């Protein structure tokens, strides 16, 4: 798709690859939707005023809503035509562009006013759509980390149901950056990010259980990002992730309470 504003002229040029019936459908659409006072043919044969009206409408940038209206109108008119498959390819380019515009506006809105619930829901839903697009259906969203200073850095960790690894997803830039091995470390893929300034806004109960199990084995010698670990433990304390809660939620018994590893910040640190 051209890197410029979409106009009637743009659509008309793309339809020139198809039979004239598609451009006729476009002309009918402009009259039906009252974009023009008469058919393009009548206006082009009329006086200066009529020709100026036609030129003004055909060269004016269209809104996303108008593009959708036009594409839907032509689709409905030409759905039984033998070239409809080729038209659908053209239409999909426009619709994909509009979808990207909507996502871009969503990102701008998120950056203007941070709302944790909106950000969390957007990231989870967008990640699920991205996984579906590449036909990775056996994935579970486990962790959502947000960078409040730059939402495009925010990430989602999704793991395979069979336990054989997973992916790190970046919903705001529609990208997959890392593939996780089956034995990936929470120290590297959670505590490190927390230590570098990210915030956890979603962690499943099963993932908490896995983190607690690892902490029991690794603390303190084998934890490299101890400040990130402390940040995680504070998240648990602030959000009611207790030994009793996890045992009930995951049907476990005799779980080691790793929140005992949490250290309250010193007074000077709290004042900074």
pLDDT at 164: 83
**What's the pLDDT score for residue 28?**
93
Q: What percent of the chain has pLDDT over 90?
A: 60
Which long-range contacts (C-beta less than 8 Å, at least 24 apart) are formed by 261-269?
261/215, 261/219, 261/220, 261/229, 261/233, 262/230, 262/233, 262/234, 262/236, 262/237, 263/230
pLDDT for residue 104: 65
Strand partners, 167: 158, 179
- The answer to whether 150 and 111 are in contact (CB under 8 A) is no
φ/ψ of residue 248, rounded to 5: -70, -45
**What's residue 168's pLDDT?**
95
Question: What does the pLDDT average to over 120-133?
Answer: 93
Q: How confident is the model at residue 269 (pLDDT cuts 50, 70, 90)?
A: low
Residue whose token pair is 């980390």: 145
Q: What is the pLDDT of residue 271?
A: 47
pLDDT, average across residues 198-206: 96
Which of 97-111, 158-172, 190-204 shows the lowest mean pLDDT across its residues?
97-111
Query: What pLDDT is attached to residue 150?
Result: 87
The single residue listed with the structure tokens 């603390």 is: 219
Q: Edge-to-edge strand order for the sheet containing 175-180?
A: 175-180, 166-170, 155-160, 139-146, 199-203
pLDDT for residue 100 is more than 90: no
Beta-strand runs (E) in the chain: 139-146, 155-160, 166-170, 175-180, 199-203
What the block records as the tokens of 133 is 């697009």
Report the phi/psi class of residue 216: left, alpha or beta, with left for phi > 0 and alpha for psi in -120 to 50: alpha
pLDDT tens column, 7-34: 999 999 999 989 999 999 999 999 998 8
Coil, helix or strand at residue 114: coil
Residues in Cβ contact with 170 at an 8 Å cutoff, skipping those fewer than 6 apart: 152, 153, 154, 155, 156, 176, 177
Cβ neighbour number for residue 3 with a 10 Å cutoff: 4
**pLDDT of 3 higher than 50:** no
Q: Mean pLDDT: which of 107-111, 175-179, 209-213 is highest?
A: 209-213
User: Is pLDDT above 80 for 270?
Assistant: no
Token look-up 């390819």 returns 89
pTM score: 0.58
Report DSSP state, residue 204.
Answer: -
CA 247: distance to chain centroid? 33
Q: What is the mean pLDDT of residues 251-258?
A: 93
Contacts of 71 (CB under 8 A, 6+ apart): 91, 94, 95
Give me the mean pLDDT over the 229-242 stretch. 96
Could you tell me the two tokens for 104? Answer: 């871009």
Region of poorest pLDDT, from 133-137, 171-175, 209-213: 133-137
- Which of the listed ranges 47-51, 146-150, 208-212 does the model predict with the highest average pLDDT? 208-212
Confidence of residue 109 (pLDDT cuts 50, 70, 90): low
Provide the 3-class DSSP secondary structure of residue 91: helix
pLDDT at 113 (0 to 100): 55
Give the pLDDT band of residue 165 (cuts 50, 70, 90): confident
pLDDT tens-digit map of 70-89: 999 999 999 999 999 999 99
């Amino acid at each position: 798709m051209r890197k410029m504003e979409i106009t009637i002229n743009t659509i008309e040029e793309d339809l020139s690859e198809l039979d004239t019936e598609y451009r006729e459908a476009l002309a009918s659409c402009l009259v039906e939707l009252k974009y023009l006072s008469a058919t393009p043919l009548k206006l082009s044969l009329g006086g200066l005023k009529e020709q100026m009206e036609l030129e003004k409408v055909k060269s004016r940038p269209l809104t996303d809503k108008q593009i959708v209206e036009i594409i839907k109108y032509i689709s409905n008119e030409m759905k039984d035509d033998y070239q409809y498959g080729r038209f659908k390819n053209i239409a999909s380019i426009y619709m994909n562009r509009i979808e990207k515009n909507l996502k871009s506006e969503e990102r701008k809105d998120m950056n203007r006013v941070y709302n944790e619930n909106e950000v969390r829901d957007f990231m989870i839903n967008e990640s699920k759509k991205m996984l579906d697009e590449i036909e990775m259906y056996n994935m579970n969203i486990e962790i959502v980390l947000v960078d409040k200073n730059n939402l495009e850095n925010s990430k989602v960790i999704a793991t395979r149901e069979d336990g054989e690894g997973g992916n790190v997803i970046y919903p705001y830039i529609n990208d997959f950056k890392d593939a996780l091995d089956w034995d990936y470390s929470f120290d590297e893929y959670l505590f490190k990010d927390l230590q570098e300034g990210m915030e956890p806004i979603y962690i499943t109960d099963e993932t908490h259980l896995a983190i607690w199990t690892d902490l029991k084995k690794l603390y303190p010698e084998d934890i490299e990002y101890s400040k990130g670990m402390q940040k995680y433990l504070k998240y648990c304390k602030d959000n009611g992730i207790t030994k009793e809660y996890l045992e009930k939620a995951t049907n476990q018994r005799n779980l080691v309470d790793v929140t005992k590893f949490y250290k309250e910040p010193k007074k000077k640190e709290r004042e900074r």
